[in-house]
Structure 1
Amino acid sequence: MRIVLLSLCLLLALPAGAGAQALGGEHEGHDEPSAPSKDAPRGEHEGHGLHGTGHGGRMAGQVPEVRSLRDIPLMRRGSGTAWQPDLIPSSMLHWDVSGWNLMFQGVLFGGYDVQGGPRGESALAGIGWLMLMVDRELPSGQLVASVMMSPEPFTAGANGGYPLLLQTGEAYRDEPLHDRQHPHDLFMELALSYTHYFTDTWGLLLYAAPAGEPALGPVAFPHRVSAWYDPLATLGHHWQDATHISFGVLTAGLVTPVAKLEASWFNGREPDEHRYDLDLRTPDSYAVRLSANPTARVSTQVSYGYLKSPEVLEPDVPVHRLTASATYHAPFGERGFWATTAVFGRNVEGEHPGTNSFLLESSLDLDGHHVVFGRAEYVEKPGHDLVLPEELEEGVFDVGALMLGYVYHFGPLGPVRPGVGVRGALNVVPEGLESFYGGRTPVGGMVFVRLAPAGRHP
């Protein structure tokens, strides 16, 4: 299985060379950020600084060198306060209202999900999220408010969520979920943040959210450019970024143009099965994260979190979580874009041995219409997570998945860019799980439609 995963990892990395060729020759130098003119009016660089990123991320050659806090694009913030590369494709609608920047972004999927084998099911599912952000540049800082919501409680909540082989995490009707992905809550984020500039090169970030994301893990999978086109969740979600919806978060951090160190105090309990409310509790967990964006193309992070009581069915079992990730973005040809993310996550649950997860995912937009995307995962999953018989509950099983998909985008049609897509997954289980899954390589797939803001293309 490791050899197969490594092979797909190499295949996913191939666009790097292809992208480099497309950017070479006549396009050589197109991807290098250039600093704005010191004499240029502020409005001429809309989209560059914190105060003016409403049109979404700019393509290469339009992203200035980040030399001060005011140069940091707001779209560097991928989810919560997590950073992604500054260089991203346009992805939002924008309005200026009396000195306030209003930004709308999101993505919606609807389709038919088929998961094979004895533990698989088939179902119609609607998946996605919508977000409104408001920001205002102040003389000594920046204020940002965000509201993010998901339709999944209404469109993907039947029987605890949509079918997904080998997925684990959270509970439904007092039973642990397995081979299903739970729906996200109606309120994914209700947050207010303020960055105070002490100087041009360092400041203080404050973030408060009744529903939000602590400083733990990479940008959550629904919001990563490398996963924009895949409707389904990652199998390592609960090792890497499951805290992206936490009900009660306070974060403070020191920030520079290229690095940020932040700490969070938050409610570490997983959301319950009632997806329409806020599961507020006294914060009982903490996390710390170091992020760095050395160039417009690259974002990295390493983080650690202590979750005192994450699972409602095992409230006395704490979890120590360690994550590390790197994301790389680059233009591809005249109108395309390539994004890749690698993530490592490790959980230590109570007195149990630690378990690890590895992910490599990539999306390649060839020309603004044709998109190919893929994902390779390897996760060590305990038997009790997979809800195996008692004699297997304490075992740890190596499972994996290889996924490949394609999306064709129409339009745009006004402010919306619709698309149709398909994804297929080859799952890999050890011999000890063969009888539960009907073989060593159970498969799954989905056909879907996709809707997202049209944004802009270079």
Structure 2
Amino acid sequence: MRTLLLSLGLMLAFPVGAWSQEAEHGHGAHAEPPAQGGHGTGHMGHMGHMGQESREAESLRDIPLMRRGSGTSWQPDLIPPSMLHWDAAGWGLMFQGLLFGGYDVQGGPRGDDAFAGIGWLMLMASRELPSGQLVGSVMLSPEPFTAGADGGYPLLLQTGETYQDEPLRDRQHPHDLFMELAVSYSHYFSDTWGLLLYAAPAGEPALGPVAFPHRVSGWYDPLAVLGHHWQDSTHISFGVLTAGILTPKAKLEVSWFNGREPDENRYDLDLRAPDSFSTRLSVNPTARVSAQVSYGYLKSPELLEPEVPVHRLTASATYHAPFGSNGFWATTAVFGRDIEGEEAPTNAFLLESSLDLDGHHVVFGRAEYVQKAGHDLVLPEPLEHSVFDVGSLVLGYVYNLGPFGPVRPGVGVRGALNVVPGGLEPFYGSRTPVGGMVYVRLAPAGGHR
């Protein structure tokens, strides 16, 4: 509990200096963004505001930095203000983050309950150059300290990674301390096309949608998606090189990366020689819409089965829109398909949405359908190669307080109704096991105006 409070306090303490500098230089939450061509902010001034339509990018220099979701993935240009930013020596600095702390209860024989701290903190620096843009980012997570007991926090039907050399099941593993250490450079050959280069000892290859902790549609849900390891589990890879060709509305990328999942030591960098590759096509036809399709070959993702490769195919679409005078609506649909060694292909579908009604009242929901093998769920040997159709329906509510200085706190509740086939009922005690969480949420005050 002490480490959870320390992590929450860190978010309160760190941005205070940034928020003070914003106020001093006229870049506070209610200040108008700088005009196009302004220096130092790395396009931060073009990100779109609550209740205002962001203009569509006509040239590469019109692309807002906030189009970048996680790694080099794209999200719609229309984003609710969600960060603190300031200028320093010609650099535009940006702080983002989300922290949740609460009590997680998962029912049934395979369930558990625990206090958990979940989230991430990121500092990004950008610099406009005559021929392009340079961006560096550092992202950290408190979860090794606040959600690492017994391999992670309880979450029915969740699978993936290991604890004490055994596969995890019905728990979500904590994210590593170092979620991203990366630098990228976009070179503009003209207003309409350019080259992107991205290098990261800890980062994300061009595979999948914006990772679930960073999607606006999932901002208010503290818990992981059940299809994580079909859709975006490579969002923390230790060793990534990406190159891409970009236009104002489209980007084609290829990545060479270390496809091995992080090990149980969440405090170091699990560097290995790159052995996997991926490619992704992203399109932003309007300021409200972003879509992608991607394919990846992961040569040896599993620590316990290093000889088994995975072919992964994903597709996703995201829609953002203002709601009323102070609200915002975000929705994402994701499909993921894994072909694991000689096993039959399995699929995962997700639809999630968050609706900020007025800057204070937020409702959110998530629907998932995932095909999980018996070995994923750690079932007895006769069921290891059977495939089970499982689902989850989530509904939640958050009330945002404040803001108080640079921080906007909120209190929330989340409930989940899970659905399993008859073959899993003996293990889960019911065809409809349930789970829930009550929590507090901290975000930068820039998230609301």
Per the normalisation by structure 2, the TM-score is 0.91
**Equivalent-residue separation in structure 2 for 1:48 and 1:339 (angstroms):** 30
Give 1:282's aligned residue: 273
The one of 344, 352, 369 equivalent to 1:353 is 344
Aligned residue for 1:37?
Answer: none
List aligned pairs for 1:86-105, cutoff 5 A.
Answer: 86-105=77-96
Runs of 4+ off more than 3 Å: 45-50, 54-57, 59-62
8 Å contact from structure 1 (residues 187, 211) kept in 2: yes
Give the alignment's Cα RMSD to 1 decimal: 1.5
Counterpart of 1:241 (choices 232, 235, 252) is 232
Q: Percent identity?
A: 81
Residue identity matched to 2:243: A
Over residues 9-38 of structure 1, what are the superposed CA-to-partner deviations in whole Å (9 max), with x where a residue is unaligned? xxxxxxxxxxxxxxxxxxxxxxxxxxxxxx
Following TM superposition, by how much is the alpha carbon of 1:268 offset from its aligned partner in structure 2, in angstroms?
A: 0.2
**CA separation in 1, counterparts of 2:309 and 2:447?**
45
* Aligned residue runs from structure 1 range 270-309, under 5 A: 270-309=261-300
Whether 1:413 and 2:379 are equivalent positions in the alignment is no
Instruction: Select the residue among 114, 118, 134 that pairs with 1:127.
Output: 118
Q: How far apart, CA to CA, are the structure 1 residues paired with 2:106 and 2:38?
A: 42
* Aligned residue identity for 2:446: G
Q: Contact (CA 8 Å) 2:40, 2:127: kept in 1 or not?
A: no
Aligned match for 1:257, one of 231, 244, 248: 248
Take 2:59 and 2:390, find their aligned partners in 1: how far apart are those partners? 44
Q: In the alignment, is residue 189 of structure 1 matched against residue 172 of structure 2?
A: no
Q: Indicate the SS of the match to 1:231.
A: coil
For residues 30-49 of structure 1, what are the alpha-carbon distances to aligned partners after superposition, in whole Å with 9 as ceiling and x for unaligned?
xxxxxxxxxxxx94248999
Task: Give me the whole-angstrom Cα distance separating, in 2, the residues matched to 1:457 and 1:332.
Answer: 13
Structure-2 separation of matches of 1:365 and 1:103: 23
2:332 equivalent to 1:341: yes
Contact 2:40 2:87 (8 Å CA) reproduced:
no
Which deviations, in whole Å up to 9, do the C-alpha atoms of 1:168-194 show, x marking residues without a partner? 000111100000000000000000000
Shift of 1:61: 3.7
315, 327, 336: which is aligned to 2:306? 315
Cα deviation per residue 1:49-74 (whole Å; 9 max; x = unaligned)?
A: 98230696434545222100000000
Match of 1:89, SS state, is: coil
Which of 196, 213, 224 pairs up with 1:222? 213
Structure 1: any 5+ residue segments left out of the alignment?
1-41
Contact 1:56 1:92 in 2 (8 A): no
Instruction: Please give the residue correspondences for 1:18-97 in structure 2 after superposition, counting only pairs within 5 Å.
Output: 43-45=34-36, 51-53=42-44, 57-59=48-50, 61-97=52-88
1:455 is paired with a residue whose SS is: helix
Aligned residues: 417
The change in CA–CA distance for 1:254 and 1:55 in structure 2 (over 3 A counts) is closer
Pairwise CA distance, 1:411: 0.5
Partner deviation per Cα, 1:107-153 (whole Å, 9 max, x = no partner): 00000000000000000000000000000000000000000000000
Does the residue aligned with 1:352 lie in a helix, a strand or coil?
coil
Contiguous gaps of at least 5 residues in structure 2: 1-32
8 A Cα contact 2:46 2:62, kept in partner: no
CA distance in 2, matches of 1:62, 1:328: 13
What is aligned with 1:385? 376
Q: Residues of 2 paired with 1:437 and 1:61: CA distance?
A: 47
- Whether the aligned pair in 2 keeps the contact of 1:429 and 1:440 (CA below 8 Å) is yes
Does residue 116 of the first structure (1) align with residue 95 of the second (2)? no
Q: CA deviation at 1:416?
A: 0.2
Deviation at 1:156, TM superposition (A): 0.1
